[in-house]
C-alpha cells in the first residue's frame, strides 16, 4: 500500500517537474524573442527642451547606425519609449516608475537635467536595471550618489573643469565663477575651482544665480566688484546671461570671459566673445572619424540641420547599449551587463569612449577651442586649438565605493 502510494507521488512529482520545465522553457524562449525595451527620459518640453530633442535625435540615429537601419538585435525588435520629464524631478521619478513598472524596460537612459537624473538613479539600483546617463553632468551622479547600475556616456563636471581650467588657470591668475544655483552649477564650480587652484589660480568669487532669472545685472556687478582676471561661466538653458554680460562691457574693465562653448542657439548670443579661448564638449566639425561623418550626413538628410551639442551624446548612449548587447550575446540581465560594461570601450562620434571600471564614467575627448568669425555663420564658430585626449580630461574618482 505504502509502496504504491510512493510510486504515485513520484509519478505526480515527475509530471509536475515536466510541466514546470516546459512552462519555464516557454517563458525563456518568449523573453529571448521579445522586444528589447529602452526607456528614455528627456526634457522634451520646458527650459531644456532643445537638449532633450537633440538627445532624442541622436539616440534614434545611434540605433539606426548600430543596426544598419533594421532597429533589431539578433532578430529582436528594439522598442524605444520616450518620456518627457518636463525638467521636474518629481515628474522624472514618476515617469521612470512607469517605465520600470508598466513597461518593464530593459534599460533606462537619461536625462537632460542633473536634478531629474539624481531623482531616478536610485530606482535603477532598486529595480536592477542598467541606466545610461546622458547628458546630465553633475559629478555626484557617478560620485557620491553612485551605484553599480549607472553608466554615464555624458561627460561630467570634473571633465569640463579640467578642460576649462587648462585654458585659463595659471600661477597668479584670479578667477570669478558664474553658475546657476542648482546641482549642475554647484558641481561644476566645485570641480572647476579645484582644478584651477591646483594650477595656481585664485578663485576670488563663486557667484551662483537663480536659474530662472532674467536679470543678471546684480550678479555680474558683484563679479566686477571683485575685479578678477577672468570670469568663468558655467551655464545651461535658454535664458542665458550672454547678452547682459556683453552689455556690461567686462572686457573694457580688464575682465576676460571664458566658458565651455554651448549649443548653437546660445552661441548665436555670444558674438561679442569672438577671440575667447575655452573648451567645448562637441562641435560637429571638430572630431575626425567615420561615426561622426555618418552622423553629420544623416542629421543633414533627416533633419536639414547639423548635429548640435547634445546630438552625439544621444548617439553615444545608444551605441553603448548596442555594444553591451553584442558583448553579452543579447543578455539584458543587468548584473551580467555590469560585468560586461565595466571597462568596455565603444566607438562614438567623439572617437573611442571607455567606461572606467571604478565609477562607470565614460572617458572621452574634449576640445580646446577659440571662438572665431566665419563667413556664412551668424554665430562665432568654435575652432579647434587641439583635441584634449581622454587621458588628459580624466576626472578624479569621486564615488565612495
Whether the predicted pLDDT of 20 surpasses 50: no
pLDDT at 333 over 80: yes
Which of the four pLDDT bands, split at 50, 70 and 90, describes residue 32? low
Residues 6 or more apart whose CB falls under 8 angstroms from that of 126 comprise: none
**Is 158-280+368-388 the same fold as 34-155+286-364?**
yes
On the question of pLDDT at 112 being above 90, the answer is yes
Largest CA distance in the chain: 106
Q: What is the pLDDT of residues 361-389, one digit of tens each?
A: 999 999 999 999 999 999 999 999 999 99
- Tell me which of 47 and 148 has the higher pLDDT: 148
158-280+368-388 is a CATH 3.40.50.970 domain: no
Give the per-residue pLDDT at 401.
56
Q: How far apart are CA 273 and CA 242, in angstroms?
A: 9
If residue 370 lies in a helix (H) or strand (E), which one and from where to where? strand 366-372
Query: Given 3-state DSSP classes, what are the helix, strand and coil percentages for the chain, each rounded to the nearest 5?
Result: 45, 20, 35
Average pLDDT, the chain: 90
pLDDT score, position 67: 98
Omega before residue 135 within 30° of 0, cis: yes
- Per the rule left: phi > 0, alpha: psi between -120 and 50, beta: everything else, 142 is alpha
CA dihedral of residues 125, 131, 135, 138 (deg, nearest 10): 20
Q: Is the dihedral of CA 118, 190, 272, 299 positive or negative?
A: negative
C-alpha cell at 393: 580630461
3-state secondary structure of 76: strand
Lowest mean per-residue pLDDT among 301-310, 341-350, 387-396: 387-396
Domain ranges of the chain: 34-155+286-364, 158-280+368-388
Over the stretch 121-146, which tens digit does the pLDDT of each residue have? 999 999 999 999 999 998 899 999 99
pLDDT digits (tens, 9 = 90+) for 192-213: 999 899 999 999 999 999 988 9
Residue 4 has pLDDT above 80, yes or no: no
Strand ranges in 190-327 using DSSP code E only, listed in sequence order: 202-209, 230-233, 256-261, 277-280
Lowest mean pLDDT among 154-158, 205-209, 308-312: 154-158
Helix (H) or strand (E) holding 323: helix 311-327
| Fold type of domain 34-155+286-364 | Rossmann fold (3.40.50)
| CA-based end-to-end distance of the chain | 62
Bigger pLDDT: 157 or 4?
157
Amino acid at each position: 500500500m505504502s509502496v504504491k502510494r510512493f510510486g504515485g507521488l513520484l509519478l505526480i512529482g515527475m509530471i509536475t517537474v515536466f510541466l514546470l520545465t516546459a512552462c519555464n522553457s516557454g517563458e525563456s524562449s518568449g523573453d529571448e524573442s521579445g522586444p528589447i525595451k529602452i526607456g528614455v527620459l528627456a526634457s522634451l518640453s520646458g527650459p531644456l527642451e532643445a537638449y532633450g530633442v537633440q538627445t532624442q535625435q541622436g539616440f534614434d540615429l545611434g540605433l539606426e547606425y548600430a543596426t544598419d537601419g533594421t532597429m533589431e538585435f539578433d532578430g529582436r525588435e528594439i522598442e524605444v519609449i520616450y518620456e518627457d520629464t518636463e525638467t521636474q524631478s518629481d515628474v522624472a521619478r514618476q515617469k521612470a516608475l512607469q517605465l520600470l513598472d508598466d513597461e518593464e524596460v530593459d534599460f533606462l537612459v537619461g536625462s537632460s537635467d542633473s536634478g531629474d537624473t539624481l531623482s531616478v538613479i536610485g530606482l535603477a539600483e532598486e529595480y536592477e536595471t542598467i541606466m545610461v546617463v546622458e547628458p546630465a553632468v553633475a559629478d555626484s551622479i557617478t560620485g557620491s550618489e553612485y551605484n553599480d547600475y549607472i553608466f554615464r556616456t555624458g561627460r561630467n563636471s570634473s571633465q569640463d573643469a579640467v578642460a576649462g581650467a587648462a585654458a585659463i588657470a595659471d600661477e597668479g591668475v584670479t578667477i570669478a565663477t558664474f553658475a546657476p544655483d542648482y546641482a549642475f552649477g554647484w558641481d561644476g564650480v566645485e570641480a572647476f575651482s579645484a582644478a584651477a587652484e591646483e594650477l595656481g589660480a585664485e578663485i576670488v568669487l563663486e557667484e551662483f544665480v537663480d536659474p530662472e532669472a532674467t536679470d543678471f545685472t546684480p550678479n555680474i556687478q558683484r563679479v566686477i566688484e571683485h575685479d578678477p582676471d577672468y570670469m568663468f561661466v558655467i551655464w545651461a538653458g535658454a535664458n542665458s546671461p550672454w547678452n547682459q554680460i556683453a552689455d556690461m562691457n567686462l572686457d573694457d574693465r580688464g575682465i576676460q570671459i571664458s566658458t565651455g562653448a554651448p549649443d548653437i542657439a546660445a552661441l548665436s548670443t555670444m558674438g561679442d566673445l569672438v577671440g575667447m579661448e575655452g573648451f567645448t564638449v562637441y562641435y560637429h566639425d571638430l572630431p575626425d572619424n567615420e561615426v561622426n561623418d555618418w552622423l553629420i550626413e544623416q542629421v543633414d538628410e533627416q533633419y536639414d540641420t547639423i548635429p548640435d551639442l547634445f546630438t552625439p551624446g544621444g548617439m553615444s548612449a545608444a551605441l553603448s547599449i548596442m555594444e553591451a548587447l553584442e558583448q553579452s550575446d543579447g543578455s539584458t540581465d543587468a548584473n551580467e551587463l555590469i560585468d560586461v560594461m565595466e571597462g568596455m570601450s565603444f566607438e562614438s562620434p567623439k572617437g573611442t569612449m571607455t567606461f572606467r571600471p571604478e565609477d562607470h564614467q565614460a572617458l572621452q575627448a574634449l576640445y580646446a577651442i577659440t571662438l572665431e568669425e566665419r563667413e556664412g555663420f551668424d554665430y562665432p564658430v568654435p575652432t579647434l586649438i587641439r583635441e584634449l585626449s581622454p587621458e588628459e580630461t580624466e576626472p578624479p574618482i569621486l564615488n565612495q565605493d
